[in-house]
Structure 1
């Protein structure tokens, strides 16, 4: 029987089925030329060499040991709850496996949170958010479930740093921003309640002041979907004024598992959620049974503070999405170039080429758009930030969170289809990517909630006017001849967008909200196109490489051009013609693209 199996293996696996790559063969940073480009585009020049070294180390870790640990955690090593000790006392201890703990120590130790608040020793300055998000993009390619706790720790640190007292910063921010595996704290943000869900104003958890202890409250209630439930410290919304309905009566509190007097706080874990994906993060139903909480900032501003942290979490959600999209493309490309069917590798068939280029297109253009949005968010951290920057960020963040969440789901589906039946088998990473991606359309606001937030910032801050000005200024700066057709397209589409907004604002609330997602789609299409064309102009100007103009053309056709006769008689098959240059990130000369596009390559 063993001889028969050996014979079958030799005949079937030798040429037809891709052999798994060893971790030592992979580095998610080194194998991503677009990430190298974005690093140089968005990080200060003084950080480039240091960042390349750090991200190269992380790229090897996430492709190797972190990925192996993620697979184990997902299938065999999920977090578990030890509810009671041997005396029957409720200890609500959440236990994670040793490999997961090592991932936690490595990634926090690399400064994913710390360097936002502490100087990088080699550089003598803090990192911008874009650097932390480059790290998150790599981590999410292997373990988006762990990137959720990172997100929550970042959010907790943000809230304490911005609005906490000096005592709170000393007590908790120091731990949240530590790189020492023996002294760092993880954080969490607990909002969701059973009766409220996205309607945070319906929350019922109450906070009662403790007599004689200013700023100290007893919190009583339930948090129904509390992720990173075992975190040392959580930021929690609770109703501080029952006379004020909705979000106006909510205060923000810092709730540690262990109080400053070293006694355990009155927090109970009822159960861990049995989730579809992101199994690394323990999500739980939490009972606050008179838990001691410490007021953060002004009592009437709790929801306002948390909304700021929510913007940060939504960026992280977009980062997780593009990370999953990148991994889906990476796996599909490798499989397609190795898998042989009907006598040749399947990546030589036009239908497979179309699927692979579609994966690449969504991944690369959305990644560029996300980091362009992050550049706006980074500006908000400086003293020179303007009201326009704030309005723009509050519009772009939900737009990109919405789009990338949807694309992550679609990308993982496509990657599975390229793998065929093997893509549906749990020994491959593709099922885990598919399951992990599903939550990205739900976390930090569903598409409907995001659309309502977009409407709110348009009505309150006229963010759409800032958006329109940004795009008009951007296209006015495009000088290369290759960019001009897209400048004209954006001008035309902006006029349509402005007309549609004016029309919708006169309609009934039902009609307006019904059309909101269509409006959001138009806006994010325009923004993303402007980003990829800006990248294309930059790259062709500096390097003579017109490759990104091919992506711009494919994106414009996909999102803006209604093709006559369904495109069947008119498609030039750009993806097939330039397949190798696109997926291998090879240069396309300006002259070659000029011949294809019939545009003279002059400036």
Structure 2
């Protein structure tokens, strides 16, 4: 099985769902390039060849090893270090041979300089084969990208090539006992030394890949203010020349419900030497960059889980006979499988569109950070891509992860009793699906982030926000020759906006004459009432953004209209249930 070449939908999305016209000029200024590419088409063909190769690797070697990795685990902790087991070591070896680790790094740092889009698509392929494998691999590329972006040139030149060669990887060290999502409560301390370094003391828990060799650590410099404003970020390496032993140690590897093939560790710092990254007090800001990328990446992981579990369930159902027919021909099963594939394909389209916006954003944002020199055209493109990335990030993380857990459960039910047996992979997909549901911010955190964005928009320009709904009925658009899918989307979207405004008015209780004055209605009590509806609002926003993308794709290609209308049929009853909930609670 090749997870790219055997998937027509992925091939269509690669060629039509990614904005290559905007992305490629951000990576290649002119043709021919130093790498020998003579045109945009040659570059795209090269990227597609990468995905064909990784699709072959993940669809065979990685997928075939997944059960072994799940059974034997990631490895062991010995004398404060993590030691990868046989299966995980084999994954690393293959990734190095394929140059998969260095995909996003610049050529001068030992990488291939490929767009983020390619790395994120590979992550989905890996997750379809084995979620634990994708998690371990992600902490090579993401940490290398953070070093390149936020650390000095000497550090990047020293460490990123090592990561590209698979010699070290890293971790993001945020969570502490008792802190959870409230990072402002962090207790790990950083004490300045005379040579400009810092000594870290404290511990971090639930740290994925904590023994990879280095970590970005959130800590508070002694004497700095409480809360997020006093948090700084540090780079801490496990092996350093000035220390004979380990600079920090791994206390244990957690025993988890799922994702047995990934390390989840407790990291202990005892006068651990570290380097301040960027400016003091800006740690949370720097961490947000990785967290935003990570949330999109986790959405891709969840998509891979959906693809793996639903793909296996359909294959099983097509071969299994009951009542004289294949399961796929039994009416209820047929309908269920159609709904599952509709949601899978719709989510795939949403995520591909999102990573296209994200790729543009992160490339221009990096250029602005490194040189500060953007043209007027690039500034506009950065602003647009930033808005889409910000809007979509909590939605794709919420929607994909919730559906991965639900649809992997449904896959088990398709297999019946066999689905409950370890012999079949769907039980592993379901157990593993709870990881993405929880890490990088739970679904409820994502819902609150989406609500925060809505409130920020409403309070920044309430006149425009409310007028956009109250005075922009889609009737004109419905009469001006729009396509059938545009008319359907416009009508659905207008109904959503109207009901959302009703919800805001109901909870915030603005006086009629003070509708455009947010200070009069945005009290803590009113906001708290609105927060009760954050999750259903996030659901509705996710459905609308997905439908928007499917409508755009249908406008590009008639063959995509069927998916748009199947998705409309799927979400309309859900939206009506949400609107009812808003009106009665």
Shorter-chain TM-score bucket reads 0.7 to 0.9
Is 1:497 matched with 2:500? yes
Alignment of 1:234-253 (within 5 A): 234-253=215-234
Quick one: structure 1 residues 43 and 527, their matched pair in 2 at CA, closer, same or farther if it must change by over 3 Å? closer
Deviations 1:540-568 (A, max 9, x none): 1xxx56432343333343433579xxxxx
Question: How far 1:339 moved relative to its partner?
Answer: 0.2
Q: Which residue of 2 aligns with 1:484?
A: 487
Q: 1:133-158, CA deviations, whole angstroms, 9 ceiling, x for partnerless residues?
A: 11111110012112223333333223
**1:98 equivalent in structure 2:** 86
SS in 1 for 2:281: helix
Counterpart of 2:413 in structure 1 is 417
Q: Write out aligned runs for 1:288-303 (5 A).
A: 288-303=269-284
What SS does the aligned partner of 1:237 have?
Answer: strand
Shift of 1:499: 4.3
Change (3 A) 1:508 1:229: same
Distance 2:192 2:213 in 1: 22
| Contact 2:82–2:212, Cα closer than 8 Å, also in 1 | no
* TM-superposition CA deviations, 1:440-467 (whole Å, max 9, x none): 1101011222223233444456699899
Q: Distance in 2 between matches of 1:490 and 1:326?
A: 28
- Which of 191, 199, 210 aligns to 2:182? It is 199
1:28 and 2:3 correspond = yes
What is the aligned partner in structure 1 of residue 555 from structure 2? 537
Would you say the 8 A contact 1:391–1:463 is kept in 2?
no
Residue 114 of structure 1 corresponds to which residue in structure 2?
102
For the 8 Å contact 1:220–1:289, the answer to whether it is kept is: yes
Q: What SS class does the counterpart of residue 235 from structure 1 fall into?
A: strand
1:141 is paired with a residue whose SS is helix
Distance 1:403 1:65 in 2: 29
**Counterpart of 1:80 in 2: which secondary structure?**
strand
Note closer, same or farther for the CA distance 1:120–1:429 as it changes in structure 2 (3 Å cut): farther
* Matches of 2:97 and 2:142, distance apart in 1: 18
Matched ranges for 1:143-182 at <5 A: 143-176=130-163, 178=164, 180-181=165-166
Q: Per the alignment, do residues 408 and 372 of structure 1 end up closer, same or farther by CA in structure 2, a change over 3 Å counting?
A: same
**Is contact 1:273-1:284 (8 Å) kept?**
yes
Q: CA deviation at 1:334?
A: 0.5
| Alignment correspondent of 2:28 | none
Deviations, residues 533-591 of structure 1 (Å, cap 9, x unaligned): 22222221xxx56432343333343433579xxxxxxxxxxxxxxxxxxxxxxxxxxxx
Shift of 1:120: 11
Q: Is the 8 A contact 1:151 1:313 kept in 2?
A: no
Tell me whether 98-107 or 315-324 shows the greater mean CA deviation.
Answer: 98-107
How many angstroms apart in 2 are the aligned matches of 1:301 and 1:263? 31
Map of 1:515 onto structure 2: 533
User: Which residue of 2 is the match for residue 223 of structure 1?
Assistant: 204
Deviation track 1:246-268 (CA, whole Å, cap 9, x = no partner) reads: 11111101111111457443312
In the alignment, what sits opposite 2:393?
A: 397
Deviation at 1:50, TM superposition (A): 2.1
CA gap of 1:557–1:448, structure 2 versus 1, over 3 A, is: closer
Give the total of aligned pairs: 518
3-state SS in 1 of match to 2:252: strand
CA contact (8 A) 1:43 1:131 kept: no
Q: Distance in 1 between matches of 2:141 and 2:465?
A: 27
Which consecutive unaligned segments of at least 5 residues does structure 1 have?
1-25, 83-90, 564-603
| Separation in structure 1 between the aligned mates of residue 473 and residue 115 of structure 2, nearest angstrom | 27
Q: Partners in 2 of 1:447 and 1:114 — Cα distance?
A: 31
> Partners of 1:367 and 1:463 in 2: how far apart?
33
Superposed counterparts of 1:430-579, under 5 Å = 430-460=426-456, 479-501=482-504, 503-505=506-508, 506=521, 508-540=526-558, 546-560=561-575
Mapped to 1, the partners of 2:577 and 2:303 lie a distance apart of 27
Alpha-carbon displacement from aligned partner over 1:50-81 (angstroms, at most 9, x marks no partner): 23322222222222221222210101244211
How many Å separate the matches in 1 of 2:283 and 2:270? Answer: 20
Structure 2, unaligned runs of 5 or more? 21-39, 365-373, 509-520, 579-585
Secondary structure of the 2:496 match is helix
Check conservation: 1:145, 1:278, Cα contact below 8 A: yes
Q: Equivalent residue for 1:38?
A: 13
Match of 1:582 in 2: none
How far residue 358 of structure 1 moved from its aligned partner, in angstroms, is 1.8
Match of 2:173 in 1: 190
Alpha carbons 2:102, 2:112 under 8 Å: kept: no
Task: Show the 5 A alignment for 1:314-393.
Answer: 314-380=295-361, 381-382=363-364, 383=374, 384=378, 385-393=381-389
CA distance in 1, matches of 2:560, 2:226: 58
Moved more, 293-302 or 39-48: 39-48
SS of the residue aligned with 1:64? helix
The CA distance in 2 between the partners of 1:168 and 1:523, in whole Å, is 41
**Superposed displacement of residue 160, structure 1:** 1.9
What is the rounded CA distance, in whole Å, between the counterparts of 1:305 and 1:261 in structure 2? 27
The answer to whether the 8 A contact 1:535-1:548 is kept is no
Which deviates more from structure 2 when the two are superposed, residues 228-237 or residues 41-50?
Answer: 41-50
CA distance in 1, matches of 2:259, 2:203: 22
Shift in alpha-carbon separation, 1:557–1:423, aligned structure 2, 3 A:
same
CA RMSD of aligned residues (A): 3.0
Give the 3 Å change call, closer, same or farther, for CA 120–552 of structure 1 in structure 2. farther
Q: Distance in 2 between matches of 1:548 and 1:96?
A: 43
Partner of 1:23: none
CA contact (8 A) 1:243 1:249 kept: yes
Deviations 1:371-422 (A, max 9, x none): 2111221121225244453243223101110111110001100101001111
Partner of 1:371, secondary structure, is helix
Taking the aligned partners of 2:50 and 2:554, their CA distance within structure 1 comes to: 27
Residues of 1 paired with 2:253 and 2:295: CA distance? 24
